[in-house]
Chains A and B, each alone.
Chain A
Amino acid sequence: MKRIFFSLSVSVVILLTVLAGCSDTRSKRAVYVLVDTSGTYSQQFDKVQGVMRYMLGTLLPGESLALARIDSGSFSEQDIVARMTFDLRPSMANAQKRAFLESIDSFGSSITPSKYTDITGGILQAIEYLNETRATDKYILIFSDLKEEIKQGQVRDFPINFNGTRVVAINVTKLNSDNVDPREYQARLEDWSVRVEQGNGSWKLINDLNRLDSIWE
């Protein structure tokens, strides 16, 4: 009888241990959100907050989220506002999401417009982070007008290896000059699209914030 009792207890413990160690996540997402803080775009942060809330509500335990700013020199760890890989336990993941939300709000209230817009540097930083997460589905969400303005001396004109990352440009605003010549806007989008796709990535543009679920498609 003792044997039955013992074997039952042991089997329960073993199975739970094995399952707990079974951390083979089938599809794991990692999202890196780049926010343009240059003068022309810094007023759009409420939209960023909306998208970030959507992200926090959608991402599952074990998945990663990061928020970084695009400023004069974005290829820097210091530009990452918050980054988190959510815990596998739902309760802990929920607590992390609350903390992340607080970071977003505090970042929103302390944005200082930057002089330049180093989008390429931000993307490079994002790719580095995303590769580290070992996620199966990697996303870079860019909130920007996509007009890159870099400091003199910075080298950004080189091909980037996106390594299968999906780049989604959200709420790409039109500049005054775009209104004069809309081809400039289209050319900017086209340039980025070509650059991403040539670097083994995929490109998508979402200007309607009510269609955020199409990010995952």
Chain B
Amino acid sequence: MTRLADLAKLIRSKNAGPFWVTFDIMFATDTDYERAAAAGVVTKAWVAETYRVPEADIILVAHPNARAIKFSFPRRSVQGDPGESDMYSGQQYAPLMDLEI
């Protein structure tokens, strides 16, 4: 089996403003992108379960021009509130890496 981390050229997470977090999964070739998209492992249901957010709050898009799969949802705690663990949301993508394609 291939892990998503092996297929993607970049997996990243980042704030999209202080109230949202967004995840980008980007591929080097159309073939890799299409393979990942066809595998259908990044779903709203998976995101909802992994990051414990309601499915209705999730934006999930395919962006063939950018060879990317992208999802976003409101942060469960606002950026910088007391108890913040990741000010830029830069390290929230790790669970995506082990998804099997």
Indicate whether A and B interact.
Answer: no
> Interface residues, chain A, CB within 8 Å of chain B?
none
> Interface residues, chain B, CB within 8 Å of chain A?
none
